[in-house]
Structure 1
């Protein structure tokens, strides 16, 4: 058994998952693994175990220092169910809005990564809290800096992770509470965390981390951007995945259905014109003929526009594996244009991000590695350009640059949310969702549509032949 697995097994015994007939303490102490990698892996595994057993989990840290690592370690398919709350007042609503957008998107996509008992339980949770869910989405959409989130919003997420000064203010009931006790976490009494059924306090003497709650404003902003950059990368991955899925479906729709619609619309326009020739004084038929011609012209334009799809967009389903998703997310965290220092840096990052998106959409892991290599080479060149000189003390200009980065990330998170809403509200996506549901029932909706169109085309051709006979 791996060290992470054995650590998880020990924790579960202390949290009431030891098996039937084994009493569980309401409060327990344990030593956390000294290695940070093992600790982070076990915490992520505990989150997955809690969700699998329909338990709510609260992980309380000393500060924000470990939050980026915990967030990265969480299972990608479960990440939208885990709310990671930074301690900084400016960062917290941004992270909350990002997670709401991610959860809403995953529910709307209804793909394989949002299926199964865990997601069924989440849908049931949101059904019971429908008013709160809708109010929370409306709050996220408004994106007003000074508007507080709806009361009780944290209850929408079965896993909550954050520093003690934030978590203790939520006062949310939880099945399991894990307190990561180190030098910076105030001493807690030997009693359960407020509202928790079972509390596990972990004493950790590992490396000291620095979180967002720092006295130096520049360091605080840099740590804040690091955490928000991960939220942004999660959303960029979600957007790229949704766009890739829809583009692949659109290509197949174009190949199977759109051309048939053009043919049928043109036949119906010809039929309407033939009927008008027989009754030229019929005003209603004249109107019907005009509408049929307009419909045929419109479907032809849409068909021609669809033929301009990029070469890499194929009619095969877009189904990136978990490794490709992780690579793209990791790369987006590093190279995102909104983390640029200046305009030249932004231009370079924008080019790399475009290449990364193309590689991800093509399912090309090697191309993603090449983008990463270019990024690392450029980063090393920047580091060498300072010649080993001691970096200057934080300046006003530096702080203003970091504030601009944070605001750019905030705006991009809001923009992705709006773009996802627009995508999911399109007629094409509605058809895609219907096709996905039909596929789970063993049906091919586009093939069925093509067969139905073929029958309509045959009937229209027969009617037109009768008119011209």
Structure 2
């Protein structure tokens, strides 16, 4: 039958502790007294910056969505406003011009004549065919350029280019110097391929000046690689760009809100059609008043 080992006495534990190296005892004391390091303190600075950048990017995306949504709403409301109320505004301008002209004809006063001229100038004239179709047609029909585009024909026949003797000489020299077969590695071959493509394009146009510039560029040698910022510097630059982008969007949003159409839309964001109905009723009342006044002047 086995017996349990005797419990070590207090003096035995003290002696054993004294026998341990001082460094081990100091390490135990530090582990017992020091609190556990926070996860945030253990993470790299780049990780905290990356989290900040991701949060800023997400916030900017949501802000852009809100601004773009409001911009589309303003644009749609502006289109409806013009379609529904534009004729009424035009009618009001025409009636104002006729009233001013009737007053000027009755009084003959120079000031009344000036006001009549200004009122007539405010009346929007009907656009011509050229303006409506943005240069695609006139009263005679489609322009030749438009016909060519619609029938997949070249707008203008290609012109033959005959490079000068100097251009031919520059071209030959550049091809001899920059030919891709002279490359020593893949990166150099890609650089030469890109450069020769530019040389060929310039020669096909007979652009002697550009060929001369390309010759000087090749003589100067490849552009040295640009200095690359560290990851932290890239993240700081990204945060700065996000902040500038947000300021720009804030200006766009403010301009939309302060515009005439934006202000009207904010008056009834849930039911803009009803707002248009109310404005239409007001304009119809004004048209009726102007027509009565014009009839009175004419009578």
Give the TM-score range, shorter chain. 0.3 to 0.5
Higher relative CO (CA 8 A, sep ≥ 6), structure 1 or 2? 2
Considering fraction of residues, name the structure with more helix. 2
